[in-house]
Amino acid sequence: MTPTSPDLSAQLFQLIRFNILTSALSPATKDKLGDGYVYAWENLVYPLFHDTGADWHKPFPSNFAVTRDMITELSEHLDKLWIDKIPIPSVYDVEDLYRARREWDRMKIVFALRYMWLCNLFDEPFWVQIMSNHPSEGSWITRKYDREKDLYFI
């Protein structure tokens, strides 16, 4: 039986994902991959802020749970608030805003915010405010990333 195109795409995605995650732990290559990029692949967040560098993710936009469109919309919304000096919402506020949309859930929001933090988006006051009220699942959004302890092959 020949795999159908979507099956082949999913298989190739998982193969590349495995290679990126194992490379992130390998002494010979771990310094070549940024934490944000590794985290995005691990947690299936489209690595939008790496579109000008590594492009292993570009053929697979539909294979990420947090799609390119989703991370773009959320980051642009937060960026507009930050630039326009509009009060920054808490994680719970972001969740309330996006909850009605079927594609979002709490963990996707947490994963997306952590990816943005690992990419050094925004400033410290932004992150202090967004973390001012958060679910327990989001308590680690701004914690230091330690691949040896935090990277799981799930």
Residue 151 falls inside a structural domain: no
pLDDT at position 1 is 45
Total domains, the chain: 1
Looking at the domain assignment, is residue 70 inside a domain?
yes
pLDDT at 54: 74
In a domain, 154, yes or no: no
Q: Is residue 153 part of a domain?
A: no
> What secondary structure, in 3-state letters, does the chain show?
CCCCHHHHHHHHHHHHHHHHHHHHHCCCCHHHCCHHHHHHHHHCECCHHHCCCCCCCCCCHHHCCECHHHHHHHHHHHHHHHHCCCCCCCHHHHHHHHCCCCCCCHHHHHHHHHHHHHCCCCCHHHHHHHCCCCCHHHCCCCCCCCHHHHCCCC
Q: Is residue 136 part of a domain?
A: yes
Q: What pLDDT score does 71 carry? A: 96
pLDDT at position 50, please? 85
Determine, yes or no, domain membership for 86. Answer: yes
Residue 152 covered by a domain: no
pLDDT value of residue 6: 62
Give residue 110's domain range.
5-146
User: Per-residue pLDDT for the chain (154 aa), expressed as one digit of tens each?
Assistant: 455 566 888 999 999 999 999 999 999 998 999 999 999 999 999 999 987 777 888 878 889 999 999 999 999 999 999 999 999 999 999 999 998 778 999 999 999 999 999 999 999 999 999 999 999 999 999 999 999 888 877 6
Residue 142 resides in a domain: yes
